Amino acid sequence: MRYILGLESTCDDSGLGIFDKKENKIIWNKIYSQNTQHKKFGGVVPEIASREHFKAIPNLLEEIFNSKEIKISLEEIELLAVSSRPGLMGSLLVGNSYMQSLAWSWGKKILTVDHLEAHILSPLIEHTNLTFPYLCFLLSGGHTLAVIVEKIGSYHVLGTTEDDALGESFDKVAKLLGFEYPGGPIIEKLYECWEEQQKKEQLLPLPIPLKKRLDYNFSYSGLKTATKRLALQLGLKEKKNLISLKEFFQKNDKNKDKIILLAASFQKIAYLSLLWNYKKISKKYFFKNFAIVGGVANNIFIRKNFQSFCSKQGVNFFYPSAKYCTDNGAMIAYTAYCYLKNKNFPQINITSKSPLALISNVK
């Protein structure tokens, strides 16, 4: 038997991925994104998310068996895997009930996977030159962690967010500027607009969170409030109807330049907050490899700047390609494969919190 089928359904993306043991690679990774359903609310609506998983999962599964790209038979599936923590309770229940019923009816073993662990291991899917130990920043919509990955199953959590996650703050700042969910890619584009301007105004002064602290935690709610205060000072009012980036450029908003300037200022500080923590960690811990993972690891500004900073420091910098950054089933299948290799099966444990996120920071 050679295939591991992984399902992701912790939040607003349903994803199915397949790891092929014989080929030693991911051979399938399809995601059904719910962005269209949530965009006008400026964030994920849990009840809508569960209902959408309920519709999407059977279709994703059917696609595999109807595919012309891959041919897999039921007999060749060795293991089912499902992300069971942390996440929205409704979304978790839909995905986990589905996979457990499937395991029962197909007579297969099932492994539950920690979603954060799957993100943390996701760069290993493509980067065979990424060796342990590595420092990993998990930057997603729900979590922000700094972790030393010692080996599979052994993680030294150095810091976590004390309030909002980094992706969440991108989404909230975009919303207060009048944009739809998800806000991260929009802010990234607005930064590019600012950079391309011929006569660009200086970026606005926003504070780097927890700058004076000696520990390695993150915090983003204060930064969001500071951005909101600047928005009010600039005369920007919160909008009821959220819009896309395309609509923003089509409309003739008299505040266009102010919105671009504020978004660009936030983007810069978001990166500097990560860099600040990275520098603190690198003073105490020695590592040759550094990876960023999760949805925010898609951010080109953050990638580019870390790439050039790390190359000056002689540190190898990694990030997964876009399809493995945002939530996906491939990383769940891959994590299950890592455990299968070690013949180590964690107990089934469905919870809205992750043991990884609960570990308080180690000083």
Instruction: Enumerate binding residues for Zn ion (CB under 5 A).
Output: 140, 327
Binding ligand KG4 by CB under 6 A: which of 90, 159, 182, 329? Answer: 182
Residue 43 touches ligand KG4, criterion: CB under 6 A? no
Per CB under 6 A, the segment of 65-73, 168-176, 231-239, 355-363 that binds ligand KG4 is 168-176
Which among ligand KG4, Zn ion, none contacts residue 188 (Cβ within 5 to 8 A by kind)?
ligand KG4
Is 114 a binder of ligand KG4 (CB under 6 A)?
Answer: no
In degrees and rounded to multiples of 5, residue 168 shows phi and psi of: -60, -40
C-alpha 28/C-alpha 18 separation (Å) is 5
Classify burial at 46, counting beta carbons within 10 Å of its beta carbon; exposed 0-12, middle 13-18, buried 19 or more. middle
Strand partners, 161: 218
Token pair in block for residue 355? 């043991």
Binding of ligand KG4 by 95 (CB under 6 A): no
Q: Which region among 29-37, 179-187, 207-215, 351-359 touches ligand KG4 (by CB under 6 A)?
A: 179-187
Query: How far apart are the C-alpha atoms of 47 and 168, rounded to whole Å?
Result: 18
Q: Which 309-338 residues touch ligand KG4, going by CB under 6 A?
A: 326-327
* Minimum distance from residue 75 beta carbon to ligand KG4 (Å): 33
Tokens for 218? 């993150």
Q: Can the peptide bond before residue 86 be classed as cis, meaning omega within 30 degrees of 0?
A: yes
Q: Is the CB of 26 or the CB of 102 nearer to ligand KG4?
A: 26
123 binds ligand KG4 (CB under 6 A): no
The reply on whether position 273 binds ligand KG4 by CB under 6 A is no
Which is nearer to Zn ion, 144 or 265 (by Cβ)?
A: 144
* Cβ atoms of 280 and 290 closer than 8 Å: no
* The only residue of 7, 11, 16, 242 in contact with ligand KG4, by rule CB under 6 A: 11
CA distance 119 to 334: 10
Q: Is 117 in the site for ligand KG4 (CB under 6 A)?
A: no
Residue 9 touches ligand KG4, criterion: CB under 6 A = no
Closer to ligand KG4 by CB, 21 or 39: give it: 39
**171 lines the binding site for ligand KG4 (CB under 6 A):** yes
Note the helical H segments in the chain.
35-38, 46-66, 89-106, 115-121, 123-126, 166-176, 184-196, 221-233, 245-250, 256-284, 300-313, 322-325, 329-341, 355-358
Give the shortest CB-290-to-Zn ion separation in angstroms.
Answer: 19
Residue 359's H or E segment, with its range, is none
Residues contributing to the site for ligand KG4 (CB under 6 A): 11, 140-142, 167-168, 170-171, 182-185, 188, 294-296, 298-299, 326-327
